[in-house]
Amino acid sequence: MTESHANPTEAAPSPTASPDHHQSARADDAWAAIGEVVGTFGIRGELKVNPLTDFPDRFLRTRTLYMSEPRMDDTRTPHDIAHARTHKGQVILRLAGIETVDQAERLRGAWLWIPTSEITPLPPDQFYLHDVVGLRVEDMAGQCLGEVKDVLTGVGNDLLVVRAATDGREVLLPAVKAFIKTVDLAAGLMRVEPIPGLFDEGADEAR
């Protein structure tokens, strides 16, 4: 999951993930991705980071983050932040012990994580995208359409993966206010007005 959130009355935020992949909200429920190392900066081992969070200033106050290095996705190594600043929509990060360009270059492609216990709290009328996983999905007439099984972020709009109630197939529903009308986390319910025909397969048998 990432530290990206949405307001139920507005479109889901534009994804910040790298355009060559999709990020699953349920990749690891204990961790939240907050950035991806995309290059080096300067000659002193600083890292150039694409933030995967709606709160990039968190890098300025976070003391320790956890890194999954390229090709080692299951291992997250703690790193202390020596200095951080924002620069042209990215974060310039200096980690303790990383002092040369060669050291920094080896970290290109690494993902930066925090425990979900450190995720930034949200106002009551907002929610994180991963919070909708498991919600019952109904149309505006109250008919059950399925259950949210995952959220994919990537290029374009975020997509809700909904397991259809009629036949169990996975339906991709864009997470935008044109389709997502209400989200009630306490009730475990999402009301939607889907694209015409999106959930129609098998609907006749259900009626």
Residue range 115-163, pLDDT digits in tens: 988 998 888 777 888 889 999 999 999 999 999 999 887 656 789 999 9
Owning domain of residue 170: 127-197
Residues 104 and 152 occupy one common structural domain: no
pLDDT in tens, 61-82: 999 999 997 655 578 999 999 9
pLDDT class for 176, splitting at 50, 70, 90? confident
- Predicted pLDDT of residue 201: 64
- pLDDT band, very low/low/confident/very high, at 187 (cuts 50, 70, 90): very high
The answer to whether residue 204 sits within a structural domain is: no
Is residue 202 domain-resident?
no
Mean pLDDT of 39-59: 94
Considering the domain architecture, whether residues 65 and 102 belong to the same structural domain is answered as yes
State whether 88 and 50 are in the same domain. yes
69: its two tokens: 């290095």
| 160 and 177 housed in the same domain | yes
In the chain, what percentage of residues exceed pLDDT 70?
A: 79
pLDDT attached to residue 2: 67
Instruction: Tell me which of 66, 92, 118 is where a domain ends.
Output: 118
Report yes or no on 39 lying in a domain.
yes
Provide long-range contacts, Cβ within 8 A and 24+ apart, for 67-76. Answer: 67/107, 67/110, 67/111, 67/112, 67/113, 68/110, 68/111, 68/113, 69/106, 69/107, 69/109, 69/110, 70/108, 70/109, 70/110, 73/111, 76/31, 76/113
CATH number at residue 152: 2.30.30.240
Residues 150 and 161 sit within 8 Å (Cβ to Cβ)? yes
Query: Phi and psi at residue 104, in whole multiples of 5°?
Result: -65, -40
Three-class SS of residue 103?
helix
Q: Do 184 and 132 share a structural domain?
A: yes
Domain boundary among 87, 118, 149: 118
Q: Residue 118, Cα to own-chain centre: how many angstroms?
A: 15
How high is the pLDDT of residue 11?
Answer: 31
Q: Are residues 95 and 135 both part of a single domain?
A: no
Give the CA angle between residues 127, 129, 133 to the nearest 5°.
Answer: 105
Whether pLDDT at 9 is above 50: no
pTM score: 0.66
91 is a domain residue: yes
Res. 3 pLDDT band, cuts 50 70 90: low
